[in-house]
Structure formats: structure tokens, C-alpha cells
Structure 1
């Protein structure tokens, strides 16, 4: 068997070991090229050459300092901080290194560490005005942090947002400040703004538990509870001790369960139980504005079913206070206003609804309310006679007989002038009411809200005595002793058929 022939492999010649002097010259050449690109603001190329310089010589503080400056221009403050710290480890007297380290600390929101760095610069260069200015900036950030912490405890979230905005002008890369701002924006109901801040952080760090918590908080407050729970759970996976995420997750699950129980009780017609469950749900988290608005409206619907119209109006009003764009609450309250004959309030609510959603249905609801308002400003002939709006012709006649005899002026001839005048007015109104409601055509026009004057009925010239005589004429009707009904006051008696 033939032996296998050996193969000759061409190997690249090894580069001769460079001397320290040669390595330093190569490093300086890379540094100079990096400086050219830095001056041109081509920071990526500058970074590459500064890195090559460091590869050639790892003991030169200025190379790390220059790369730190480049990384700062690229807004990579954490990487820049490492280079700046390495530069001062190599040379504790390297002023620019301490200054850049301080600037990185400040940009990342660590104002205390930044203060120490800038104080070191002032020790090395007492006349360094830039370092003194940065010391003031660090002090300002510390003060904004102190104020924001106190205002958060007082739930003055707008002021916290203001403080964080001022802090981020000096510490633009501080995730902690951004998260606090986002959380406060969510608590203020500015969910898109809060989502935007949290999403920016998650794009850079998908495992940031605080940003995951804020994303969940926004969804939770927008009543997307199932999705919110998913983010809270994810945040707890990243940080098992995240107390805010744990509390929010518990509240979200409890709120969802209690609301669903209330909805089911309502569907089952168990309104008392539904009322209790919605009330319990409202106690879970007062910060959840959108969900609580729905709970108030749901409880208002329950109160309407229980004929507790004033309580229903109050619940709908609370829902609208929490969410002034909540159409369903306006509609429910408007119906309750109508049912309690508060027509002006009903019209205002329907106007709001129609301005927001100009549908045919909402237009008709507004038109109906306006008609009821117009009708309410006229005399209510049904109330005057004391009958229901669906009263029959016979019921209207009986009601007129009773009221006409009750308010007839002759019956009150011995009363004071003031009482006589009031009873005469009521007697006339009873006659008006009967004249309209006993005539099918007039009644239809009255019920539809049309002007009766168009039908030839002038109430100003109305004579109630004529209606009275006509109604009571004939056997068994009404007569005065020794007088006709038109002969004026005197002795009288009533006869009923």
C-alpha cells in the first residue's frame, strides 16, 4: 500500500515583534488620524483610530481620554465613562480625564459622583471655569431630585415632570429621570407621552424592568388590563423585587375580576349585587381614571334600573369628571335628566354628545330633548287635570269635573281676595286643559309640542265659564239655586249624574 505523501503548506511569515518605541509611534499616528476625523465630526472613524491607538499602546491616558470624548459625542456615555475612568487610573493628574468622567456621570444622572470629579478638576486647576460651571449644574440636578422626590410623595406629578425635564437638560442619558417622568405622565393621564419615553428606553434596553412597568401602567390606565398584566409579569421576571410592578399587577387582576363579576350580576338582573360589586371595584385603585369612569357609569346604569335616578345622575357626573370624553356617561346622564324632567340639563348633555359624534341617532336624541324642553316651558295640562299622559277620554272628563268644581270661583266666594284670585286662575287653567285634551286634534298638536295658536285657540281670550256651562248643561249636571250658571256668585249646589 502506497504511503500518503506529505503536503507542504505555505505559512504566512510572522511579523517581527515591534519595539515599545515603534508601537508608540504607530499609536501616535493613529491618534493624529483620529483627531482629524474628530475635527471633521466623523466620530465613528475617529473612534476606530483612537481604538487602534489604544491597541498599540494601552498605557497612554490621552488615548482613552480621546476615545471617551468621541463616545460622548456619540451619546454613548456608559462606554465613555469606562474610558474616562481608565484614563485617570493611568494618570491621576489628567485633568481632561477627570472632567470627562464627571460629564459622563452627570449625563447619566449620578450628580454626586460628578461633583467629586469636578472638585478634583478644581483642585488640579483652580481657575478651570468649566469645572466650576459643571459643579453648579451637578448641584442643580441634586436639588431637582430632592424637590421631585418630595412632590411625588405629595402626588404633585406635574411639578415632578417639570423637575425631571430640567434635570434631563443636564443629564440627557439618565434612564432613572426618564422613567420617573414617564411614570408621572402616566399618572397624569398623558399615556402617549409616557409610552413614548418608556419605548425609547426599551429600544436601548429591552430588559429594563422600570420601562416595562411604565408600559404596563399606561395600558392599565387605558383599561387594557390583560395586556398590562403581561408587562407587569415581564417586569417582575427582570426584577422580582419590583414593588410597584407587583402592586400594579395585583390591582389589575383584582380590578378585572371585580368588574367582570359586576357585569355578570347586571346581565343576570341582580342589580343590588351588581351595585355592590361595582362599588367594591371603585375602591381598588383611585388612580385608574379610565376604568373607574366606566365603573361609575356602570353603577349609574344600575341605579337607573333601581329607579334611583338622582344617584344615577351623580354616578354619571363622577364618570364625566374622570373622563370628559366619555360619550356613554353623557348619554346615560341625559336620559336620567329627561326622566327627572330636567330638560335643560338633558339638552346640554345631548348637545355635547352630538358635537363629539354627529350621528343621526345622536341628532334625533338632541331633537327629542329640545322638544321636551320646549313642551316643559308650557303649562302642563296633564298635571293641571291630575291625569297621566295616556289617560282615556273618560278619565279626562272625570278629572275635569272634579277639578272644575274644586276651583269654581263661587265655591270660594267667602275666601280672601287673594285666595279668590288664585282659585279663579286655577279654574281657568282647568278649563284650558280640558279644552285641549278633550279634542283629539288639539291634544295631538299639544303632545307633539306644536303651537296651539296655529290651530286657532287663543288662550288669552279663553272663557272658562263657557266650558264649565257646556260641560255641566243638561239633566243631572250643575245648577245654581234660583240662578243660571252665568248669573254670578250666589248660593249654589251641585248635582252629579
Structure 2
């Protein structure tokens, strides 16, 4: 830019000119020289003022307009600079620096085709001009970046569009169109703060820019601030009634807001089936709205949990966190579903994620509860062994033991293979363990709370299941795991009570 904006300190007249007022011409030259001095000091505002005075004195001098254009370029006022550069070449078409400045202004504003024409004209006048050659290449590079970006936008390759716009903006820093396209793609990529920063800068300069208003609304829309987003879409449509993107986004935003609110209302009224249908319909409106859709999936997961469709609820919550991996509510909902389906390792994983993100007492307690249930799940499930519910009464536990102990008693399986006998002995022992723990209130409390039973001094590997059987049913006799069934030996005729009981169990 510095080369393009270099000021013409010494200017030769393009045509012999005899002004009507020689004094005015001398005064204009004096103003120009003062402008040059301020330009050299980089005091561009003062330089601008003196070049303007020179133009007022001699409005048909091309170099004065060229110098003021250079100053405006340094001030970043490219649109005004373009007007002065164009006026300079209208006054003197052979003014090479004027054509260069006109091209540089066009390029800075993003009009690469017009820039190429200006640089070509400069090369026609001076084919060895190195600056014109380089700027011509730059303009063509911008044209190429625009073409690639257009194709990639259609392919929804937004990262590549951002890359192309960043490269183009190196040559066209004042191009709002490139900035807005970049911001739109940043919004589509979920980089909302960056996108908002870009369009906010543009709106500060031009509050009526419909494209910038649309992208500002798009950022809010994708952040699930749908009501505010609609306001910006409506404002963009006021500025440009035919703005297709703003129109489509406004329509989607209103539809999404209505469906979501209807789903929430149905849920609060307890109409879970209708709520499920409404959330499903809302999810079909705009697949690109990741944040809102994450909430919709979580809401539908809550509905499924109310309907006791826990696997579906887990799937919905998983979809929610895939869309938004910071969504704490979805992790909590999924963790609860994992707890309800006794998938404790998965529940612990989700609660750990939540607690790492938000270290609250509530989240800490949820994690501890899940860890406790996981620990308990790795022990023998005595309730399952007896075939009773965790809230079973004392009588239910006794009845269950009676049934299971007789079912697995080794005497019932004396004619089976050695492998079957071994398995039944194992099950008989486990039934005895289960009854020993669940029939004792103190042990049962410790077991239910997840405490280690060995801390109480009870080694579960040392107890005798046969003694428990005898104690429960009464009478002599029994069996030994080491020596086989005692009641089948020659010294102990088959015990009548055991025979009776086993016979009852077979009925």
C-alpha cells in the first residue's frame, strides 16, 4: 500500500496550462507543498486539508487529486480515495500513479475485476512498472480466491471459505463483502464470538448493512437466542426486502421457536406422547442449528425417560452431547438413565464429566452415589441369587431361600455328571451366603449401603452352607463339600427330612 500511496512531491504538468489567475496557481502549489510536508510526517489529516485547499484553488490539476487520494488511502478511506483517483485520471488519462491508485482502491474495496482494468491501463502506459505488475497479480489472486470460496460455500466446506477470505482480505482489507462471507461461515462453524466481532465492526460503520444484520441474527439464532435473532432478521429485511437468506432464516427461527414452545407446553401438561412428536418435528426444521437441536434432543430424551423408554432416552442424550459436548443437562439426564438401567460404569463416566466441568456439591454427591452403585454391582448380587426384589420382606427372603436351597441341594443332583454336581454345589453355597446376609438386618444394612462385609470380621469364604441349611430346616444330617454328601454315606441313612423336603421341592 505504501508504494501505491506514495505522494507526488514533484509533479510535471501534463499539458501546458496558462491559468486565468496566476496568483491562484502559486497559492495552490504552496498548499500542495505544505500538504506534501505533512504527508511526509504521516500527519495525513493535515495533509488532506492542504490538498483540499490546493484543489479548491485549481480544481483541474490531476496531481492534486492524486495526492489527496493517496492521503485518503493512508487514512483507510478507500471509497473517498477512489473518487479522487478516478477524477485524477479523468483529468489526465496518462497519469500512471492515478491509475495505480484507482486500481488499489478498487482492490481494497474488493472489486478485483475493476482493479485489473486499472492496473492494465497503468501497464499500457508503463509496461515495466513493477508495482503495476505485482498489483495485477494480486488482483487476479483475489479473483481466484472468490471463485474457490463460491464453490466451497456450495459444498458447505466453510473452513476453506474462511481460509480463502482471509487470503483475499490481505489484498482487500476494506471489503465488507469478504468480511461478511467470512463471518457467515464462522457462524456456520459455531465460532460465534469471532463472527459477531466481524459484523459488529461493520455495523458500527454502516448500521443499515442488511448482510451484516443477517449474520448478526444468524449468530444469535445458532446460540439459541431465537427471539433476538428474529429481530435482526426482520431488520435486515427492512433494509433489503428481497434478502433470501434473511427471509429463510427468519421463517426457520419462527417455526423452531413455535414447535419448541408447543413441545414444552405439552410436556408440562403431562402429554408426553404429543411432546415427543412436537420435539421430533422441531428437530427436522433446521439440522444446522446445533445448539437448539441439542436442547431438543435432550428434551425428547426427558420425554422418553418419562415414558420409561430408557434406551431411547440414552440415545437422544447421546445425540445431544454429540452436537454440544459442553451440555451439562444432557450428561446428567443420560447418567440418570444409565443408573436406572444399572449401567454404572457409564453413569460414573458421565458424572465425572459433569463434576470436572461444574464442581458443585450436588454433582459431587451424584458422582459418589454412582461410584457406590458401581462398587456394589461388582459384588455378588444376593437379591438376584435369591430371586427377590431389593425391597423384599423377611418372609419373602425366607421363602426364596427355601425354594432355591432345595432346588440346588446336592442330594437332588447326586446322579448328575461331576460338572453339574460342582455347579449345583456352587449355587447352593451362594444361596446360603445370600440368606446369611439378607436375613440379618445389620449385615443387610451394610450390604445395601455398599460397605465391605469383611470389615465386620465375617469371611464369606469360611462359612458352611450345610449348617445354614440345617439351621433353617432343622434336624440332623447334612453334607460336606470336601467329603461328598454325608447323608448318603453308610453311616447316615438318607435323612428322612431331606428326602421329604426334596420331594416337596420336586412337586
TM-score range for the pair, normalised by the shorter chain length: over 0.9
- Tell me what 1:7 maps to: none
Residue 494 of structure 1, CA deviation:
2.9
1:160–1:181 Cα contact (<8 Å) kept: yes
Q: Deviations over 1:78-104 (max 9, x none)?
A: 000011011111111100000000000
Q: Following superposition of structure 1 onto structure 2, how do residues 263-412 of structure 1 map, counting pairs within 5 Å? A: 263-412=264-413
Q: Following superposition of structure 1 onto structure 2, how do residues 16-95 of structure 1 map, counting pairs within 5 Å? A: 19-95=20-96
- Tell me what 2:262 maps to: 261
Residue 429 of structure 1, CA deviation:
0.7
- Tell me what 1:98 maps to: 99
Q: Does 1:494 align with 2:495?
A: no
State the distance in 2 between where 1:455 and 1:412 align. 35
Q: Following superposition of structure 1 onto structure 2, how do residues 86-235 of structure 1 map, counting pairs within 5 Å? A: 86-235=87-236
Local SS of the residue matching 1:446: helix
2:478–2:487 Cα contact (<8 Å) kept: no
Decide whether aligned partners of structure 1 residues 95 and 399 sit closer, same or farther in structure 2, where only a CA change above 3 A counts. same
Q: Following superposition of structure 1 onto structure 2, how do residues 458-497 of structure 1 map, counting pairs within 5 Å? A: 458-473=459-474, 486-488=486-488, 493-495=499-501
Residue 19 of structure 1, CA deviation:
4.0
1:27–1:52 Cα contact (<8 Å) kept: yes
Residue 414 of structure 1, CA deviation:
1.6
**Unmatched segments (≥5 aa) in structure 1:** 1-17
Local SS of the residue matching 2:42: coil
Q: Deviations over 1:46-88 (max 9, x none)?
A: 0000011111111111111000000000000000001101111
State the distance in 2 between where 1:163 and 1:72 align. 24
**Unmatched segments (≥5 aa) in structure 2:** 1-18
Residue 460 of structure 1, CA deviation:
1.3
Count matched residues: 475
Residue 493 of structure 1, CA deviation:
2.1
2:470–2:478 Cα contact (<8 Å) kept: no
State the distance in 1 between where 2:463 and 2:97 align. 102
Residue 146 of structure 1, CA deviation:
1.0
- Tell me what 1:431 maps to: 432
2:410–2:485 Cα contact (<8 Å) kept: no
State the distance in 2 between where 1:177 and 1:478 align. 94
State the distance in 1 between where 2:303 and 2:51 align. 72
State the distance in 1 between where 2:77 and 2:429 align. 90
State the distance in 2 between where 1:410 and 1:24 align. 129
Residue 465 of structure 1, CA deviation:
1.0
State the distance in 2 between where 1:61 and 1:479 align. 122
Q: Deviations over 1:441-492 (max 9, x none)?
A: 0000000000001112211112211111111115xx9999xxx984247866
1:478–1:494 Cα contact (<8 Å) kept: no
Residue 354 of structure 1, CA deviation:
0.7
State the distance in 1 between where 2:478 and 2:26 align. 135
State the distance in 1 between where 2:253 and 2:293 align. 12
1:465–1:486 Cα contact (<8 Å) kept: no
- Tell me what 1:6 maps to: none
State the distance in 2 between where 1:140 and 1:469 align. 95
Residue 111 of structure 1, CA deviation:
0.7
Q: Deviations over 1:406-433 (max 9, x none)?
A: 1111111122222111111111111100
Residue 305 of structure 1, CA deviation:
0.5
Local SS of the residue matching 1:461: coil
Local SS of the residue matching 2:203: helix
Local SS of the residue matching 1:459: coil
- Tell me what 1:440 maps to: 441
1:479–1:493 Cα contact (<8 Å) kept: no
- Tell me what 2:247 maps to: 246
Local SS of the residue matching 2:499: strand
1:209–1:236 Cα contact (<8 Å) kept: yes
Q: TM-score, normalised by structure 1?
A: 0.93
1:409–1:420 Cα contact (<8 Å) kept: yes
State the distance in 1 between where 2:46 and 2:478 align. 118
State the distance in 1 between where 2:451 and 2:318 align. 33
Aligned alpha-carbon RMSD (Å): 1.7
